[in-house]
Amino acid sequence: MAGVLGRNMGVFDFDTALLRRPGMSVIHGLRPGDGPSPRVEDICAEHDAYAAALERAGLEVHVLPALEDFPDGLFVEDPALVFPEGAILLRPGTATRVAEAETLRPALEAHFDAVIELEAGHVDGGDVLVTPDLVLIGLSQRTDRKGAKALADALGRFGRRSRIIVPPPGMLHLKTAVTLIDEETVLTTEACEASGLFTRFRQLVVPASEEAAANALRVNDMLLVGDRFDRTNDLLDREGFSLVPLPTEQIGRIDAGLTCMSLRWTKRRALH
């Protein structure tokens, strides 16, 4: 059965993660609407629980200091991508976040010999879904076609194949609505399933009332999920996944989910 422990996990096999601690300014981060404001202490608690879960999954976790000038700086996957072959500094599609990539350069250069830059356009890492044979790049309000083409070129330098796709409208990021949870299965929303973009995968569809649950994070044998999505988590439990429910209510108030709070890779194949 997909998700059973002991399987060769390929793209989910990690031993290292890079995070950034939330700053006091995090409450001023980008927000999807006019809902309740997040609380700094609660975001920090969610971040701590997330870091601890990665450690339990067997990762060596490096936590960078907070950046008060960048309220969204804890979401390190949007301004950069990492692979065993190297790192790519992106150009996020929101003006307030563009400079975040340079703040990650020293840490990434400490781990990788190859750190390259996106040469044109804009890409948020939240629009990039790594699968066993392809890197899917979704176009969104924050990832444009010029940036997607530039990223495809950068990925080619690492020997990785990619494909640009157009997700259904209304999604913040591609991984807002679909994440890979084993080599053959995606967790997705009804709208994303209906798009036909992921028919080559087995698709587990989250209930209509739990769309945010589609952003989950597979790390080694564990699947990190939001703890408030009972129906989705029951579905995943029945499928045999080893679930780690985590609090995500506060980060959900600032355009975020589980995938965006870390950069993850395998040192064994990295150049350092």
SS percent in the chain: helix, strand, coil, step 5: 35, 20, 45
5 found inside a domain: no
Residue 93 lies in a domain: yes
pLDDT for res 36:
83
Tell me whether residue 1 is in a domain. Answer: no
Residue 2: inside a domain, yes or no?
no
Whether the CB-CB separation of 264 and 57 falls below 8 Å is answered with no
Determine phi and psi for 64, rounding to 5 degrees: -80, 155
Residue with tokens 């339990």: 56
* 103 is a domain residue: yes
The number of folded domains in the chain is 1
As a whole number of angstroms, the distance between CA 124 and CA 137 comes to 10
- Around Cβ 16, how many Cβ atoms within 10 Å? 19
What pLDDT sits at residue 191?
95
Q: Is residue 3 one of the residues assigned to a domain?
A: no
Tens digits of pLDDT across the chain (272 residues): 333 333 334 899 999 999 999 999 999 988 766 778 889 999 999 999 999 999 999 999 999 999 999 999 999 999 999 999 999 999 999 999 999 999 999 999 999 999 999 999 999 999 999 999 999 999 999 999 999 999 999 999 999 999 999 999 888 899 999 999 999 999 999 999 999 999 999 999 999 999 999 999 999 999 999 999 999 999 999 999 999 999 999 999 887 899 999 999 998 544 44
- Report yes or no on 189 lying in a domain: yes
Residue 131: per-residue pLDDT: 97
Domain with 217 in it: 10-269
Residue 220, domain CATH: 3.75.10.10
Q: Token match 């973009």: residue? A: 197
Question: How many C-beta atoms lie closer than 10 Å to residue 99's C-beta?
Answer: 15
pTM of the model: 0.93
DSSP state of 242: E
243: in domain:
yes
